Amino acid sequence: MIRVLLSGCMGKMGHMLVEVIGAAPDMTVCLGVDSAVTPGTVSPYSFPVVASFDKADAEPDVIVDFSRPAALESLLDFAEARRTAVVLATTGYSDEQKARIDAAAARIPVFYSANMSPGVNLLCALVKKAAAFLGEDYDIEIVEAHHNKKIDAPSGTALMLAESAMSASSAATWTHCGRSGKNCPRQPGEIGIHAIRGGTVVGEHSVLFLGDNEVIELKHSAQSRAVFARGAVRAARFIVGVPAGKYDMSDLIGKD
């Protein structure tokens, strides 16, 4: 039985993960960690919950994190001290935090992806192929939409899609988030990224390739958080027992 420590257990994704893991015959949640927990909080789950990793008393096989970037340092300290595998599904990390993730991956297995949906990762592969084929004759714009409680913009997935395009085409070299003003013509190498926030939208991402007299659009729409929860569970199964290193969905898809 794989023992999971769930970071961000009180959030919407946390609740969804508890449901998905509860239905898995080979997994169980042994502890939840969430900064929303207060001294009087009664766990809504069958497992205990604590406010921070310095209060965590458990020996999990893997930590699955859907929380906030502020939790990263204490999470990795906990994981490194116990040589515990980690699945990071939080977005909005700074460059310094990404370097911290890389450093941890030298000591423990770290699965890191800005989006746990297999469909989104397929979209990244399609974007990469399209960018390589279409080249400088097409401008690239990315539009993403999320619910009104999302705290980071643009989304980690939008940035992941932009990175896919930039890795394949020398005509796409930098991102421009939002566009405002009277004198802001499109610049060479630019990928425009635009964020929409409202309602209860789970997540939508469109990548547009705009050429002379035609537009090619690649799109993914998530209709339930269960998509991301199931992807995270697959990642947790994969990461337990593998050597130290940094892994992502391409490793998981390749294994499958």
CATH code assigned at 86: 3.40.50.720
Residue 139, pLDDT > 90, answer yes
What CATH number is attached to the domain comprising 136? 3.30.360.10
> What is the pLDDT confidence band of residue 115, given thresholds at 50, 70 and 90?
confident
- Residue 236 in tokens: 């947790």
Do both 211 and 237 map to the same domain? Answer: no
Question: Which of these, 125, 147, 112, 153, lies nearest to 223 by C-alpha position?
Answer: 147
Q: What is the structure's pLDDT at 185?
A: 87
Tally Cβ neighbours within 10 Å of residue 136: 11
130 and 218 belong to one structural domain:
yes
**254 or 10, which is more confident:** 10
In the block, tokens 């050429």 appear at 211
**What is the model's pLDDT at position 183?**
80
Whether residues 81 and 104 share a domain: the answer is yes
Q: Do 189 and 233 reside in the same domain of the chain?
A: no
- Catalytic pick from 150, 176, 194, 246? 150
Residues 199 and 232 in one domain: no
Q: Contact 84/4 with Cβ under 8 angstroms?
A: no
Number of domains composing the chain: 2
Judge if 217 and 144 occupy the same domain. yes
Return the minimum-mean-pLDDT range out of 62-66, 96-100, 250-254.
250-254
Q: Which of 141, 151, 245, 247 is nearest to 190 (CA)?
A: 141
Same domain? For 216 and 235 the reply is: no
**Active site (annotated) includes residue 12:** no
Provide the total of helices (H) and of strands (E) in the chain, helices listed first. Answer: 7, 12
| CA–CA dist 54, 60 (Å, integer) | 15
Co-location of 178 and 51 in the same domain: no
Q: What is the pLDDT of residue 256?
A: 53
Per-residue model confidence as pLDDT tens digits over 14-47: 999 999 999 999 999 999 999 999 887 888 899 9
* Whether pLDDT at 255 is above 80: no
Report yes or no: 208 and 140 within 8 Å, Cβ to Cβ: yes
Q: For residue 97, count other CB atoms closer than 10 A to its CB.
A: 17
Percent of the chain exceeding pLDDT 70 equals: 99
150 tagged catalytic: yes
**Helices within 7-149 (DSSP H only):** 12-22, 72-82, 95-105, 118-134
67-90, pLDDT tens digit by residue? 999 999 999 999 999 999 999 999
Q: What pTM value is reported for the model?
A: 0.79
> Both 7 and 129 in a single domain?
no
What percentage of the chain's residues is helix, strand, coil (to nearest 5)? 35, 25, 35
Active-site option among 128, 146, 205, 220: 146
The answer to whether residues 152 and 128 belong to one domain is yes
| Average pLDDT of the segment spanning 91-100 | 92
**Tens digit of pLDDT for each residue in 146-199?**
999 998 899 989 999 999 999 999 999 999 998 887 788 889 999 999 999 999
CA distances from 136 to 67, 93, 133, 166, 221 (A): 38, 30, 9, 12, 27
C-alpha closest to that of 204 among 89, 119, 131: 119
What's the domain range around 212? 118-222
Compute the mean pLDDT over every residue in the chain, rounded to the nearest whole number: 93
Residues 209 and 233 grouped into a single domain: no
Q: Who's near 111: CB < 8 A, 6+ residues apart? A: 85, 86, 87, 88, 235, 236, 238, 239, 247, 248, 251, 252
